[in-house]
Amino acid sequence: MSRPADTPIDAATEAERLLRICAACMYCDGYCAVFPAIAGKHGFPRADIEHLAHLCHNCRGCWYACQYAPPHPFAVNLPRTLAEVRQESFARHVRPRWLAGAFARNGRVAVAVVSAVTLAALALVLIAVPPEILFGVHTSGGAFYRVVPWGVMTAAAGLSFAWAVVAVAAATVAFWRTIGPRAPLRIVLRALPAALADIVTLRNLGGGGHGCNDTGEKLSGERRASHHVLVAGFALTVLSTVSAALLHHVTGAPAPYPIVSLPVLAGTLGGVLMLVGIAGLAAIETRADREPAAPAEIRMNIVLLALLAATAASGLAVLGLRATAAMGLALTLHLGVVVGTFLVLPATKMLHAPFRAAALLRAAIDRLIAPPRRSGGE
Amino acid sequence: MRLPALCPGCGHMTAGAPLSEIDVLVAGGAAAGLCAAIAARRAGATVHLVESAPRALRGGNTRHARNFRIAHDGPAPWVPDAYPADAFLNDLLRVTEHATDDPVARRLIDGSADLPGFLIDNGVALQPTSRGVLPYSRRTAFLLGGGKAMINALFATAVQLGVGVSYDTALAGLHVEPGHCTAELRRDGSLTRITARAVVVATGGDQADRAALRRQLGDAADTVVVRGTPHADGSGLRLLLAAGAAAAGTPGLGHLVPVDARGPAVDGGIVTRITGIPYGVVVDQHGRRVADERADLRRTHYAQWGPRIAACPEGRAALVLDHDGLSRAAPTALPPVSAPTLAGLAAALAIDPAGLDATVRDVNATAEARGGRPIRVPPFAGYPLVAGITFLHHGVAVDAAMRVRLRTGGIADRLLAAGGIMAATVLRRGYLAGLGVTLAAVSGRIAGEEAARVATR
Ligand SMILES: Cc1cc2nc3c(=O)[nH]c(=O)nc-3n(C[C@H](O)[C@H](O)[C@H](O)COP(=O)(O)OP(=O)(O)OC[C@H]3O[C@@H](n4cnc5c(N)ncnc54)[C@H](O)[C@@H]3O)c2cc1C
Ligand code: HEM
Ligand code: SF4
Ligand code: SF4
């Protein structure tokens, strides 16, 4: 009946036990997409469990509301169990497969790779770039490339970025193969707008409209808001990079750009927003109730937050220091952090974004194919 | 102000803190008690609430509830169409066969119209009908996240308003004196005596008390499982009766439903209820059919099956389904017992295989002749069943202000009762979906206001 205390049990088996109880109960159906997706279901194949685990946005609403939470013998802890399934599921879908080992230790790997790449970059620059250039004050166009040659910079950033994109995409394809419904393209396209809306608004991190249990029993919208700020900031930094590349290639004007230019404005605002969002998420992460969380997931969240924070902060440092003698080192540091982050990204929690997007798409497709069965009270 | 000294946040009385004199003492930390405490506090009284369960199990049976019945004249985000107060009253008269106290029933039904507003103002989230997968219901509103979410919100509001809360603390003695009441509170085996100008007893029923079950249900009581909190031990009810309260209700009646025999002995809540009876055949341990499974297909059919199962040998029965029947039944918390053959299933469920075989042949022959649902397609599935008690149809009688009526004919103006403990005043038999929480919350609110009125007069 309850989760056996001393026998190790794999997360998917435990999730199946809980999802059965939830499907019989359904009191939490207003919180998120997970419950409508299990309505009326008598059994949960492994693929469905993985789908549901990523569909869960970890809002913890169903933990505080659960009449079967411990000390009840049913010992229902759905958020933690689904977080454990997510961990296993990420590990199984990491591509290339040999990254699974790095995924399991992604904190240590991230620190090792990012510091190794950064230190190597600094060492190279210190050796290869004459001090009067490295520590000079540059004001003209092309200043950055006097420290790190354009070709080297684009090759390092471009290649590491391509690696991250290809590996994350391969993992996502593998995950979609696991969970993907056999639906005709017509249905997939019809499901897309609803899925996109869920992805962009993070509706499922809204606790049914009243906020989530971000840190405890009290409801708040902080986590969702901080995530929005982080993603908005992230999008602006992407805009900054893309616009800089365009300026470089189309107008032929090399960086650095004036303060009032798209790359600088978007980059500054983006970097600041990212740091604000990250600070908000990190604060919640440290205050949050540990009971409904999986320790491994908390660690992964913190690793990703740290990588993104280092990227944003070092980027802002380049902007702030670009007219000083420290520009050369700041630029090298930023480049090292960015390249290191891209290298480890496919083995981090960054996978959550495309995996959750895939789960939301499947949920939207399922809602079209088989509208959920309704359930009542007493 | 004479607010009791409390350990802020944790809600426990600090050791040795003087909790000697307050305006309103509320016993019971579920829907009725919380609404009473909040209403009394908002009316300006100093209030202390004692809950006999530990914090993790606070909220009694209310934790297990989902929706509540409300009178309303037009649609709202949480309820469609309309359900006029008269229609509500007619439904109540129908299911109770007019065994109700009219003025009290009317007062509670009128109060139900304001209940969504009261709950929302006090932090409770109602589920909009547009969210999730709610069934159409113009008579009831659904709590977002269910009863426990409501309990959490009400406790948070009560504490924020300055209501003192003590968990693990039971009302254990009650004396009505001129101008005040003296109450004894038991915590960790030791008794504290306090004086309150009014007391609201909202401790629920006595359905978790084996002795009470036995008195009401006879031998059947021994196999019955308690669907809700083990803390509904009737201690509050006994105190009220000892203080001279008039009893209300129908002895021997209770709301019994079929539940999975493998579930927990208490607090199984909604998920161990077995609702798939119309899709299969119910047999006793000899394999004999208990009753026609499809004679009544209303949503409330299961309330008739509880007493039938309780009356079976050893209070046990089993629901047997074939593959098709199972796929139509609602999901259950525990997977059914499954077997490729009927004989195998009979063995797994400890039913006489010959008896089951004969019953199924009979069912299938009837199904062929007159239409119906045969038990034919393997694998076969079964649920061992016992009866689960939701509440007993007895308690104390109150007037429309929720003041306790006395056996001697008068009323106790400082002693109020709310919720399951007085539900039998208006519900001497029968049940309507969503009535329990409505009666509890509305009576609690009225009792709290009345208690504050007499206490601060
Ligand atoms: C499984 C189940 C499902 C239900 N579903 C619904 C539904 O969907 N809709 C609906 O309207 N109704 C439902 N009901 C009925 C509803 O839960 C009850 O009618 C309602 O909750 C009663 O509320 P209450 O506050 O009177 O008492 P309870 O919720 O029973 O709580 C009584 C409280 O008093 C405490 N207590 C007991 N003795 C003492 C003492 N001596 N001192 C201090 N504290 C004490 C207990 O610990 C408990 O917290 C359901 C009931 C069950 C069992
Ligand atoms: C498809 C789009 C995305 C979706 C649906 C999504 C969803 C979520 C959800 C639901 C959480 C909280 C639950 C959890 O802990 O797992 C989360 C956490 C997080 N997300 Fe996203 N996300 C998306 C894109 C992004 C992007 C683009 C970034 C980075 C730029 C990002 C960074 C983070 C970080 C750092 C956390 C951890 C925060 C914490 O510690 O709570 N996400 N995301
Ligand atoms: S109350 Fe508990 S069992 Fe019910 S749906 Fe919510 S998490 Fe699941
Ligand atoms: S934690 Fe939140 S998102 Fe996850 S299943 Fe529970 S209610 Fe849904």
- Whether A309 maps to a domain, the answer reads yes
The number of residues making up chain A comes to 378
Question: If you average pLDDT over residues B141-170, what whole number do you get?
Answer: 97
Residues of chain B with CATH 3.50.50.60: 1-246+397-457
Determine the structural domain holding residue A25 and report its residue range: 11-92
Query: Which segments of B218-352 does DSSP mark as H helices, in order?
Result: 235-242, 302-310, 323-328, 342-349
- Chain centroid to Cα B423, Å, comes to 10
Q: How many Cα atoms sit within 13 Å of A83 on the Cβ side?
A: 22
Helix (H) or strand (E) holding A273: helix A262-287
Residues of chain B with CATH 3.90.700.10: 255-388
Amino acid at the residue B329: A
Instruction: Check if the beta carbon of residue A91 is closer than 8 Å to that of residue A351.
Output: no
The CATH architecture assigned to B1-246+397-457 reads 3-Layer(bba) Sandwich (3.50)
- Sign of the Cα torsion A62, A67, A68, A71 reads positive
Instruction: Check if the beta carbon of residue A280 is closer than 8 Å to that of residue A70.
Output: no
CATH (residue range B255-388) = 3.90.700.10
Contact B262 A1 (CB under 8 A): yes
- Whether A369 maps to a domain, the answer reads no
Against a cut of 0.80, is the pTM above it?
yes
First to last CA, chain B: 15
Among A26, A52, A58, the mutation site with the greatest number of ligand 4 atoms within 8 A of its Cβ is A58
pLDDT given for residue A256 in this prediction: 82
Confidence of residue B220 (pLDDT cuts 50, 70, 90): confident
Shortest-distance atom of ligand 2 to CA A233? 30
Residues A125 and A160 in one domain: yes
Return the beta strands (E) in B326-453 as ranges.
337-339, 380-396, 403-405, 411-417
* Residue range A156-199, pLDDT digits in tens: 999 999 999 999 999 999 999 999 888 999 999 999 999 999 99
Shortest-distance atom of ligand 1 to CA B31? 25
Question: If you average pLDDT over residues B277-282, what whole number do you get?
Answer: 95
Residues A211 and A285 in one domain: yes
* Residue range B91-117, pLDDT digits in tens: 999 999 999 999 999 999 999 999 999
Which of A26-30, A130-134, A372-376, B172-176 comes out lowest in average pLDDT?
Answer: A372-376
Amino acid at the residue A269: L
Which of A164-178, B6-20, B104-118, B314-328 comes out lowest in average pLDDT?
Answer: B6-20
Residues A48 and A143 in one domain: no
Residues A40 and A168 in one domain: no
| Rounded distance from Cα B59 to ligand 1 centre (Å) | 7
Structural domains counted in chain A = 2
Contact B148 A375 (CB under 8 A): no
Residues A222 and A87 in one domain: no
Residues A355 and A320 in one domain: yes
Degrees, nearest 5: CA angle B296-B299-B305: 55
* Residue range B137-150, pLDDT digits in tens: 999 999 999 999 99
Instruction: Check if the beta carbon of residue B418 is closer than 8 Å to that of residue B440.
Output: yes
| Rounded distance from Cα A370 to ligand 1 centre (Å) | 36
Provide CB contacts within 8 A for B185, sequence distance 6+: B19, B50, B166, B169, B170, B171, B172, B191, B192, B193, B194
Residues A39 and A112 in one domain: no
Cβ contacts of A67-70, under 8 Å, gap ≥ 24: A67/A25, A67/A27, A67/B63, A67/B64, A67/B146, A67/B147, A67/B148, A67/B267, A67/B269, A68/A21, A68/A25, A68/B269, A68/B271, A69/B56, A70/B56
Residues A64 and A135 in one domain: no
Return the beta strands (E) in B63-163 as ranges.
67-69, 140-142
A193 burial type by CB count under 10 A (0-12 exposed, 13-18 middle, 19+ buried): exposed
| Residue B217 pLDDT exceeds 50 | yes
Q: What is the predicted ipTM?
A: 0.94
Query: What distance in Å separates the CA atoms of residue A242 and residue A245, rounded to the nearest whole number?
Result: 5
Closest residue to atom 2 of ligand 3, CA basis: A66
Query: What distance in Å separates the CA atoms of residue A297 and residue A86, rounded to the nearest whole number?
Result: 8
- Whether A371 maps to a domain, the answer reads no
Instruction: Check if the beta carbon of residue B347 is closer than 8 Å to that of residue B281.
Output: no
Question: If you average pLDDT over residues A341-351, what whole number do you get?
Answer: 97
* Residue range A81-130, pLDDT digits in tens: 999 999 999 999 999 999 999 999 999 999 999 999 999 999 999 999 99
Domain-ending residue, one of A37, A66, A92: A92
- Burial annotation A66-76 (CB, 10 A radius, 16+ → b, else e): bbbbeebebbb
- Whether A171 maps to a domain, the answer reads yes
* Phi and psi angles of residue B259, each rounded to the nearest 5 degrees, phi first: -130, 160
